[in-house]
Amino acid sequence: MSCEGMSVLVIDDEEGMREGMRRVLKKKGFTVDTAENGADAIDKMKKSAYDLALVDLKMPGIDGFQVTGFIKEHFGDGTVVVIVSALATVEAAVEVTSRGAFDFLVKPFTPADLLQVVERAVNQRRLIQERETYLTELNSERNLSRQIINSMREGVVVVNLNRRPVLMNPRAEFFLGTRFSEGMSLEEAGFSDQVLEVMERLFSDEKDGGQVVLREKHQDQMLEVQLTPHLRDGARVGVIINMRDVTEEWKAEQDKNRFISMVAHELTSPLAAIINYINIILTGMFDEKPDKIHEMLGRSKVRGEALLDLIKDLQYLNKREAGKVEKSMEPLDLSAVIADQLEFMKGQAERNRITCLLEKNEDDFTVHADRGDLDRIFMNLISNGIKYNVEGGTLTVGLTRNKKDILIRVSDTGIGMSEKEMANLFQEFYRVKNPKTSGISGTGLGLATIKRVLDGYNGRIYVESEPGKGTTFTVRFPGVSSPV
């Protein structure tokens, strides 16, 4: 018997008995205290707790019954009681056992008798200790699970077979716009008809009905709702509902789908035109008119080149999104970059009889950027300012700087746009369709690309325009703060 750390209180009014028991138990390694009557015992127990109490039943004053009562009331199973009684009081000893004492020992007894009973009591005490530890652990595990469930970003609801929610974490309350209360109904929980229908199926479907995942809109949010049968020993006892906010993924998917269908549409029309020209040539109807064939081939070439431009732009956008465009960030003088670009576009401007001007003061226009990105932004704007201009018009690029930012205004005196035409200007493939733009080729990807590139620099682009008067694009680009 291992008695290490076990404490015993021996309560007996007979000194010989008391001391005898003390000796035997001490030898076995118990920590032993003695009390000579009930009052003394209660005093001692108020001061310290004992694992075991050996209680003499018949004592003057407060007797063994009362002491046992006190122990059960104050310490419950924390102190195991063994009643010590004379043969004449065995019945009473049995009685007190039924009121909470663990066992009894009949006087006179040998040390071996004592140890046998005490050993059983010690085992009982150990069992109780183990159960207490287990319960404490279980309780703290429950608390932990509860905390985990409550801190989750997913909403969790558990519904029992009576169709009552029995658990709902705060996130689920938020998604469902409700407050959990014991005994609330599914309707009060705010589930949609769709979810209720699936839940019902999971309740009734004994065989296969596994997990079901569905999506549904809750105001501006797209929620993914996952319903799983809650099983205990293979039997259905309820349904576990998980809810996740998938708004971002959903929006991205929608953008992607929209983009793919636009790409398909944009690729179709030039290809269809080219195939059409080839088919006409193949009929042989213009075999005798090489000029006509030339003209059609020329048009096919233009459409083919436009298609290639479009594909290149798409490839660039794709690479950029995937982070595969190599960048080399360096301090660059934006005014010098733009002067270069204007020089580069000189040929095209002269062909369209457009005068290009660069207006700037002596401010510092240094930016920290990738040269390729700056070309994408400003070459597109300059090229548009020439393309959508009128013969003899002007394109002016003006640079100014405030404390933090550099403002670049690209102004033309061209065809301009109405408010309505500008509404979707920065969307991929958007092109203004009117008689003035009909002969001008483009992909509709330039401004969308500019916007995406600028986003990467925390830059902004604004537009002002008036039909027949011209257009001004203003780019706000963060400048490198100049040393004071």
Residues that bind ligand ADP (CB under 6 A): 380, 384-385, 388, 412, 414-417, 425, 430-432, 437, 442-448, 471
Minimum CB distance to ligand ADP, residue 269 (Å): 14
Rg (Cα) of the chain, in Å, rounded?
45
Minimum CB distance to ligand ADP, residue 435 (Å): 12
Contact 359, 396 (CB under 8 A): yes
**Nearer to ligand ADP among residue 165 and residue 416 (C-beta):** 416
Minimum CB distance to ligand ADP, residue 278 (Å): 25
Cis status, amide bond into 108, omega within 30 of 0: yes
Query: Beta strands of 161-211 (E only): which ranges?
Result: 165-168
Minimum CB distance to ligand ADP, residue 249 (Å): 27
Minimum CB distance to ligand ADP, residue 385 (Å): 5
φ and ψ at residue 454, rounded to 5 degrees: -65, -35
Whats the size of the chain, residue-wise?
484
Minimum CB distance to ligand ADP, residue 333 (Å): 25
The type of residue at 164 is: R
**Nearer to ligand ADP among residue 24 and residue 447 (C-beta):** 447
**Pairing status of strand 52-56 against strand 7-11:** parallel
Q: How far apart are CA 281 and CA 293, in angstroms?
A: 7
How far is it between the farthest Cα atoms of the chain? 140
Please report how many Cα atoms fall inside a 13 Å half-sphere around the Cα of residue 67, on the Cβ side: 35
Query: Beta strands of 69-177 (E only): which ranges?
Result: 80-86, 103-107, 155-160, 165-168
**Nearer to ligand ADP among residue 229 and residue 416 (C-beta):** 416
Contacts (Cβ under 8 Å, ≥6 apart) of 245:
153, 175, 221, 222, 223
**Nearer to ligand ADP among residue 425 and residue 461 (C-beta):** 425
Minimum CB distance to ligand ADP, residue 342 (Å): 15
**Nearer to ligand ADP among residue 115 and residue 417 (C-beta):** 417
Minimum CB distance to ligand ADP, residue 384 (Å): 3
**Nearer to ligand ADP among residue 276 and residue 383 (C-beta):** 383
Minimum CB distance to ligand ADP, residue 262 (Å): 13
Contact 456, 373 (CB under 8 A): yes
Minimum CB distance to ligand ADP, residue 296 (Å): 24
**Nearer to ligand ADP among residue 416 and residue 459 (C-beta):** 416
Q: Which two structure tokens, joined as six digits, stand for 242?
A: 């998980």
Per the rule left: phi > 0, alpha: psi between -120 and 50, beta: everything else, 435 is alpha
215-218 contacts at long range (C-beta below 8 A, 24 or more positions apart) = 215/246, 215/250, 216/192, 218/175, 218/177
**Nearer to ligand ADP among residue 79 and residue 389 (C-beta):** 389
**Nearer to ligand ADP among residue 337 and residue 447 (C-beta):** 447
* CA distances, 72 to each of 67, 80, 120, 387, 476 (Å): 9, 9, 19, 97, 81
**Nearer to ligand ADP among residue 365 and residue 473 (C-beta):** 473
Closest CA to 406 of 471, 346, 458, 468: 458
Q: Which two structure tokens, joined as six digits, stand for 67?
A: 């002491």
CB-count exposure of residue 227 (10 Å: 0-12, 13-18, 19+): buried
